[in-house]
Amino acid sequence: IAADYVLADKAYDADRLYRKIIDQGGDPVVPPRRHRKRQHAYDKALYKERNRVERFFSRIKHFRRIATRYDKLAATFMGFVTLAAIMLWLK
The DSSP H or E segment spanning 7 is: strand 5-7
Domain span at 25: 1-42
| pLDDT in the model for residue 77 | 92
Q: Could you report the per-residue pLDDT of 24-65, keeping only the tens digit for each?
A: 999 999 998 888 888 888 889 999 888 888 999 999 999 998
Classify residue 32: in a domain, yes or no. Answer: yes
Classify residue 77: in a domain, yes or no. Answer: no
Domain count, the chain: 1
Classify residue 13: in a domain, yes or no. Answer: yes
3-state SS, 22-45, equals: HHCCCEEECCCCCCCCCCCCCCHH
State the Cα–Cα distance between residues 81 and 88, nearest whole angstrom.
Answer: 11
Q: Could you report the per-residue pLDDT of 1-14, keeping only the tens digit for each?
A: 778 999 988 888 88
pLDDT interval class at 72 (50, 70, 90): confident
Classify residue 1: in a domain, yes or no. Answer: yes
Classify residue 74: in a domain, yes or no. Answer: no
Classify residue 11: in a domain, yes or no. Answer: yes
